[in-house]
């Protein structure tokens, strides 16, 4: 199939904007797959800040980065992404949110619409012009619909002179495939 799932598309957009030496954020590091991917994109002169509220997520991410030889360019932060402004003072090129619960973990520990949206607003302040926020929104099943509904209600209200918001969704597939949202800062 030529059309790809949201997670794959989020990585393709990341590849388009991130260059060696850039600073980026993984807002939900989980088991570390995305952190490792981003660490590869920024190279050894770049920087990845990765957040999660679960200690186990940070342990799994640390191990994956150690195994991949990329731990030195990453800072792992045990805190909610809504507090990212407390840790990051430099401009960033990309912020990735892979929402929902951690595969293999407690499905009740998951991202929430209010805190995710707060983090998106903060991320917009940290982004450079033409920097991107990419969100993969899971819905249905154990994820439910609350976070999706909250974000799809609030995202259209972002100031369109400052940021543009694009949503990509499969509209005829079963089992609620994840939704991709990309936000580009334009001013
Ligand atoms: C779908 S998983 C992320 C998967 C991950 N990117 C990977 O590559 O394995 C979502 C993660 O978000 C975390 N999370 C939930 N609320 C959070 C918050 N407020 N700030 C940061 N992380 C949060 C969960 O603990 C969970 O590990």
* Pair 50, 26: CB distance under 8 Å: yes
Indicate which CATH number applies to the domain containing 84.
Answer: 3.40.50.150
143 close to ligand 1 (CB < 6 Angstrom): no
Residue 173 — very low, low, confident or very high, per pLDDT cuts 50/70/90?
very high
In this prediction, residue 121 carries a pLDDT of: 98
Closest to 91 measured CA to CA, from 115, 123, 69: 123
pLDDT digits (tens, 9 = 90+) for 43-101: 999 999 999 999 999 999 999 999 999 999 999 999 999 999 999 999 999 999 999 99
In this prediction, residue 186 carries a pLDDT of: 98
Q: Kindly state whether residue 81 falls inside one of the protein's structural domains.
A: yes
Q: Kindly state whether residue 105 falls inside one of the protein's structural domains.
A: yes
Q: Kindly state whether residue 85 falls inside one of the protein's structural domains.
A: yes
111 close to ligand 1 (CB < 6 Angstrom): yes
Residue nearest to atom 4 of ligand 1 (CA): 30
165 close to ligand 1 (CB < 6 Angstrom): no
In this prediction, residue 163 carries a pLDDT of: 98
Residue nearest to atom 22 of ligand 1 (CA): 52
In this prediction, residue 65 carries a pLDDT of: 98
Give me the domain span that covers residue 141: 6-185
Residue 183 — very low, low, confident or very high, per pLDDT cuts 50/70/90?
very high
11 close to ligand 1 (CB < 6 Angstrom): no
CA dihedral for 35, 36, 40, 43, sign (positive or negative)? positive
Q: Kindly state whether residue 1 falls inside one of the protein's structural domains.
A: no
pLDDT digits (tens, 9 = 90+) for 104-137: 999 999 999 999 999 999 999 999 999 999 999 9
In this prediction, residue 14 carries a pLDDT of: 98
Strand segments, DSSP code E, in 40-124 are 47-52, 74-78, 92-98
CA of 13 to the centre of ligand 1 (A): 20
**Element (DSSP H or E) covering residue 129:** strand 127-137
pLDDT digits (tens, 9 = 90+) for 14-38: 999 999 999 999 999 999 999 999 9
In this prediction, residue 89 carries a pLDDT of: 95
Q: Kindly state whether residue 165 falls inside one of the protein's structural domains.
A: yes
> CA–CA separation, 115 vs 112, rounded Å?
6
Domain count, the chain: 1
Residue 148 — very low, low, confident or very high, per pLDDT cuts 50/70/90?
very high
């Amino acid at each position: 199939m030529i059309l790809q799932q949201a997670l794959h598309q989020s990585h393709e957009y990341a590849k388009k904007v991130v260059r060696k030496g850039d600073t980026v954020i993984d807002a939900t590091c989980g088991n570390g797959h995305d952190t490792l991917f981003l660490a590869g994109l920024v190279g050894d002169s770049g920087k990845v800040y990765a957040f999660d509220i679960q200690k186990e997520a940070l342990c799994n991410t640390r191990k994956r980065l150690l195994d991949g030889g990329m731990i030195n360019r990453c800072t792992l932060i045990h805190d909610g992404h809504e507090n990212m402004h407390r840790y990051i003072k430099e401009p960033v090129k990309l912020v990735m949110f892979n929402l929902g619960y951690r595969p293999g973990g407690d499905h009740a520990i998951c991202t929430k619409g209010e805190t995710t949206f707060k983090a998106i607003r903060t991320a917009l302040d940290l982004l450079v012009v033409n920097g991107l926020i990419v969100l993969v929104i899971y819905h249905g099943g154990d994820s439910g619909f609350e976070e999706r509904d909250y974000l799809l209600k609030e995202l259209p209200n972002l100031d369109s002179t400052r940021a543009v918001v694009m949503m990509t969704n499969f509209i005829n597939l079963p089992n609620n495939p994840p939704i991709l949202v990309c936000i580009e800062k334009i001013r």
